[in-house]
Amino acid sequence: MQASEHLIEIRDLSFRRGDRVIFDGADFDIPRGRITAIMGPSGTGKTTLLKIIGGQVKPDAGQVYVEGQDICSMNRDELFAFRRNLGMMFQSSALFTDLSVYENVAFPMRVHTNLSEELIRDLVMMKLNAVGLRGARDLAPSQLSGGMARRVALARAIALDPDLIMYDEPFTGQDPIAMGVLVGLIKELNSALNITSLLVSHDIHETVSIADQIFVIADGKVIGAGTPEELRAAPTPMVRQFMHGEPDGPVPFHYPADDIEFDVLGEAG
């Protein structure tokens, strides 16, 4: 059945910020229990897409179904209940600055469960160990490096083993070893616990190695979708350019602007 195959179905999504069109009739089907990657140039709206799925940003038009429920028609209470089954790792980490690393990871457990203090401790240690930061449990977020903060944010996002985890650029700022560990971790969470994972990343190599399905978005539309093999085998010019990182081609690198002659040389140019 269609509904059980896809955890998330997005139809005809349109969204604009002021005059800037972010999505213009985009469709997404996110398969259940798989790793789906969202790729695309910086500023195309990948983070925005995750916030729309989480119900934080309301689209101007279109439907967003998660488990067959339309996110856009939920009221405040339903939305908060829905988000309990969701983990999101923010691009900016967004750790609670007045809590220690330990308390940050324990936070979702404390508010949503009645687990005993020992059990919480064991779980937090397991999650922190998985990202290699068990030893950093007593540090404050301000004492972490960017890459460490991201890994804590990741540990916090998976704290309750939610049904859906959204990772917003987890690999940014990670050294090669940490990168390998995180790739393994995301893969394992997905295969062992059958968690649906949504991954936003610019690291083509890592993404291709773990994603079951990739969406490439640009200019408010889905310009390519399929398994990594499919995208590699039959790339459109846009997808090819993006996957190979070529500056020239149909995908715009620049934020929409006037001609450079105009900006650099002034009107006389």
Partner 1 sequence: MVGLVRLLGIRFLTWLNSLGRATVLWANAMWWLPRWEGVRLIVTQIYYVGFLSLVIIVLSAFSIGAVLALQFYTQLARFGAEDAVGVGLALVVLRELGPVVTALLFAGRAGSALTAEIGLMKTTEQLSSMEMMGVDPLKRIIAPRIWAGLISVPILTAIFNTVAIYGGVVVGVNWLGADPGGFWSGMQEGVEIYEDLVKGMIKSAVFALLVTWVAVFQGYDAPPTAEGMSLATTRTVVISSVLILATDFLMTLVFYGDF
Contacted entry of ligand ATP, partner 1, Mg ion, none for residue 63, CB cut-off 5 to 8 Å set by kind: none
Segment 74 to 103, residues that bind Mg ion, using CB under 5 A: 91
* DSSP-derived secondary structure letter, 245: T
Judged by CB under 6 A, the residue of 36, 44, 100, 196 near ligand ATP is: 44
Residue 26, Cβ neighbours under 10 Å: how many?
23
Integer Cα distance of 154 and 182 in angstroms: 9
Integer Cα distance of 122 and 124 in angstroms: 6
**Contacts from 238-247 at CB under 8 Å and sequence distance 24+?**
242/39, 242/40, 242/41, 242/216, 242/218, 243/204, 243/216, 245/204
Cβ-contact 6, 30 below 8 angstroms: yes
To which residue do tokens 């690198």 refer? 253
If one asks whether residue 260 binds partner 1 (CB under 8 A), the answer comes out as: no
Decide: helix, strand or coil at residue 97: coil
From the list 16-24, 155-163, 187-195, 256-264, the region that binds ligand ATP by CB under 6 A is: 16-24
Residue 118, Cβ neighbours under 10 Å: how many?
8
Q: Is the dihedral of CA 57, 108, 197, 9 positive or negative?
A: negative
If one asks whether residue 194 binds partner 1 (CB under 8 A), the answer comes out as: no
Would you say 9 or 168 has its CB closer to ligand ATP? 168
Give burial (CB, 10 Å; 0-12/13-18/19+) of 233. exposed
Would you say 42 or 73 has its CB closer to ligand ATP? 42
If one asks whether residue 262 binds partner 1 (CB under 8 A), the answer comes out as: no
Q: How many residues bind partner 1, per CB under 8 A?
A: 22
Would you say 112 or 244 has its CB closer to partner 1? 112
Judged by CB under 5 A, the residue of 44, 47, 100, 104 near Mg ion is: 47
Contacted entry of ligand ATP, Mg ion, partner 1, none for residue 26, CB cut-off 5 to 8 Å set by kind: none
Contacted entry of ligand ATP, partner 1, Mg ion, none for residue 45, CB cut-off 5 to 8 Å set by kind: ligand ATP
Closest residue to bound Mg ion by CB = 47
Judged by CB under 6 A, the residue of 12, 17, 81, 138 near ligand ATP is: 17
Decide: helix, strand or coil at residue 204: helix
From the list 36-44, 78-86, 112-120, 137-145, the region that binds ligand ATP by CB under 6 A is: 36-44
Instruction: Provide φ and ψ at 241, rounded to 5°.
Output: -60, -45
Would you say 57 or 74 has its CB closer to ligand ATP? 57
Residues of this chain that bind ligand ATP (CB under 6 A): 17, 20, 22, 42-48, 91
Residues of this chain that bind partner 1 (CB under 8 A): 54, 56, 76, 80-84, 86-88, 90, 92, 94-97, 107-108, 111-112, 153
